[in-house]
Structure 1
Amino acid sequence: MVSIRGTWTKIAESDRLKRSSQSLAVVGQQVYIYGGEVTARVPVDGALELINFNGSTVTTSTLPNISPAPTPRVGGATAVLDGVLYLFSGRGGPAMTPIEENGGIWKYTSSTGWEFILPKYPSISFPLGRSYHAATASQAEGLIYIHAGCPESGRLSDLWSYNPKENVWIKLPDAPGASRGGSSICCFEEFQSRTINVARMNGYSGAEEIGGIVDIYSPRNHSWERVVFDPNGVEGPGPRSVGTLLTVRIEGKQYLFTMFGEGRPSPLGHAGAGRMWDDAWIFDIEEKSWQKVEWETIGPAPRGWFAADVIEVEGKDGVVLHGGLGEDNERLGDVWLLKFN
């Protein structure tokens, strides 16, 4: 595998942007940030934060919170399909319980604002309300995938697809291994069949941080495959949760990319900060092998419970990272851009 290095640039920071357990989604050259918390179990207001890339200029703003809009929440999940931002569930309300919207999903565009959509067939099964689940979108299939997370009690291992054009949920085979929250998923193109697959890794089972496996779901075969590696920090990334998993193209080749996350939970649970990672790794889909990304500049402090997505910069894939929880149990309000060299 060709050596891959990365360069970090801090592009914004403010008290307003301080938060963890938020959602972040990129639409073109605009980065939308929604939800999260500054104080544990107290959601921030429901306004969208906008970071706008215009060439070499980056601006930040808070968009007016116009009804209808989602109720404030933490641990929600967003995905972007055909330029539309979709938000599913999260945790909120006075009791900070999962927000149960009966399979409903929120959609947002800059021209129309928020719109709440209930499923076409409400009597047919749909994913339960949950928090700290994962979401991704398949542009080729026109689908959004929702996976795992924390319902009213326990953790989940389910996988669902949502078709916005048909407004229909379909339950897919559960993922193998322990049920979990704080997992990460992304879609990628399988290099031989050129079909879309879903990759899943990491998470917290309630007893331990999970690592050492990339689980791959094939919609074509309706089955899961497991790629096992040694999570020793040499052969592959160590176990973690509340990190990220993204698909990036570097020099025309597609890779899976993961970084940061919580490597050991706090004894205080959600009220505290555990041991956080500050590393990043690239997974070669063809060779099924990992390579650690080396930093050429000083980058973000170790963190988990952050948000990140892929953004195109100067015709190449980069990664934008925002906020999260530091090892000092303080919420972070910084925004960074990672470019691959």
Structure 2
Amino acid sequence: MSALKALWLPLATQEGLQRSSHGLAVSAGKAFVFGGELKPRTPVDAAVTELDLRDESSRTLAAHATTEWPSGRVGATFVSAKGKVYLWGGRGGKDMGTFAGETGIWAFDASTASWAQHETKGEQPEPRSFHTMAAYGDNLYLHAGCPASGRLAQLHSLNLTNWTWTRLPEAPEPARGGTVLTALPACTASTPLLARYGGFAGYEVGGLDIYDVEAQKWTTIDEQVEGGGEGPGKRSVQSFVGTDGSLEYEDKIVVALLSMGEREAAPKELGHDGAGFFHSDAWALLATKDAAPTFSWLRLESSARSKGQPEPRGWLASTLVAGSQVIIHGGLNANNERLADAWTLEAVLE
């Protein structure tokens, strides 16, 4: 019987890409990095770095006088959808103020290396950072995060055809930042689903929550673990990425991969300026093929074909490459160092 393993492969480390709390998106076979911080609470420049995933070369795309260009920022979302990459929110400057003056959303066109800002209407979400965003169909789904004070449990959708925001049911408490919302591939006869795991609510939280897009309903999942034992530990600022649903394991679909993340925050006197303690694990989220799928976790041991493994980290950026392969980049380690390395994590049968 084949086993499901984690295949870790390093990508060429790119000079100048040492950072955390940044954005990473893949479009047309290339990865794009934007924003983040090298020094705490100080955004790096507003350049976009393009990484060619075929030959691992890179180039820097910087603002010029003839085009609109967003400001550098920390804790924004950077999400690929419908051939563009969308940027929303974040904080800038030493005071980490939210971008309250931005009333729309930025769209990056990789084919022309240019930005455009789209004005939006409807039930506008309040400015925030360290939120999460997922793309599904014609919509972006924005969840949680940190406004000027406190944390949020809100969920909004943005239609990319008419640029209209809609307020949706709030997620189960507690309100949090540093969580991850991801779209899951449609299981057989099921409706579109979004999944949330973890976050920070003044303390690390765990737990899997599922949002049914058609029913507009949240469900907290009673987590099961393949083979028994404990599931993923509590964490925040981790990687949690939905796959394309093409990989099966023991008649279940591999619908998402979870890895890394902060397991215990920095001491309160250090806060954002210090490092916490981090996970180094990898998990597959499995779903049955039922109309109302049940979910279970499987811890992934490293494949014999892996070429090393990334050090534990949080505040990283990650996204789907294709199939069941995820790319992770950068982040913060336990020595309070911002990282520049990039890896692919792929669930494989061996």
* Shared fold per TM-score greater than 0.5: yes
- SS of residue in 2 equivalent to 1:295: coil
How far apart in 2 are the matches of 1:59 and 1:291?
34
Q: 1:94 to 1:263 in 2, by over 3 A?
A: closer
1:186 maps to 182
Kindly indicate whether residue 254 of structure 2 is the aligned counterpart of residue 260 of structure 1. Answer: no
How far apart in 2 are the matches of 1:200 and 1:4?
23
Q: CA deviation at 1:283?
A: 1.2
- SS of residue in 1 equivalent to 2:298: strand
TM-score normalized with structure 1 length: 0.91
How far apart in 2 are the matches of 1:106 and 1:242?
23
Runs of at least 5 residues in structure 1 that lack an aligned partner in the other structure: none
1:163-183 residue CA offsets vs partner (Å, 9 max, x unmatched): 111110001000012000000
Choose the corresponding residue for 2:233, options 223, 232, 238: 238
How far apart in 1 are the matches of 2:2 and 2:173?
32
1:132 maps to 130
User: Which moves more between the two structures, 4-13 or 244-253?
Assistant: 244-253
Choose the corresponding residue for 1:271, options 273, 276, 279: 273
Choose the corresponding residue for 2:333, options 321, 326, 335: 326
Kindly indicate whether residue 195 of structure 2 is the aligned counterpart of residue 199 of structure 1. Answer: yes
1:299 maps to 309
How far apart in 2 are the matches of 1:193 and 1:331?
43
Choose the corresponding residue for 1:224, options 212, 218, 226: 218
Q: CA deviation at 1:117?
A: 1.1
8 A contact 1:186–1:198 mirrored in 2: yes
- SS of residue in 1 equivalent to 2:25: strand
How far apart in 2 are the matches of 1:338 and 1:245?
11
Choose the corresponding residue for 2:158, options 154, 158, 162: 162
8 A contact 1:78–1:136 mirrored in 2: no
Aligned length: 328
1:65 maps to 63
Q: CA deviation at 1:37?
A: 0.3
- Percent of matched pairs sharing the same residue: 35
Q: Which amino acid aligns with 1:198?
A: L
How far apart in 1 are the matches of 2:327 and 2:150?
31
How far apart in 1 are the matches of 2:141 and 2:271?
28
Q: 1:12 to 1:173 in 2, by over 3 A?
A: same
1:87-124 residue CA offsets vs partner (Å, 9 max, x unmatched): 111011352111124541000112341011111x3xx4
- SS of residue in 1 equivalent to 2:221: strand
How far apart in 2 are the matches of 1:59 and 1:339?
21
TM-score normalized with structure 2 length: 0.89
Q: CA deviation at 1:277?
A: 0.5
Q: CA deviation at 1:235?
A: 2.8
1:233-261 residue CA offsets vs partner (Å, 9 max, x unmatched): 94310000000211124535342211100
8 A contact 2:254–2:284 mirrored in 1: no
Q: Which amino acid aligns with 1:303?
A: R
2:318 maps to 308
Kindly indicate whether residue 49 of structure 2 is the aligned counterpart of residue 49 of structure 1. Answer: yes
How far apart in 1 are the matches of 2:224 and 2:335?
29
How far apart in 2 are the matches of 1:28 and 1:235?
38
8 A contact 1:22–1:75 mirrored in 2: yes
Q: CA RMSD in A?
A: 1.9
Q: Which amino acid aligns with 1:271?
A: D
2:99 maps to 99
How far apart in 2 are the matches of 1:53 and 1:102?
32
Q: Which amino acid aligns with 1:276?
A: F
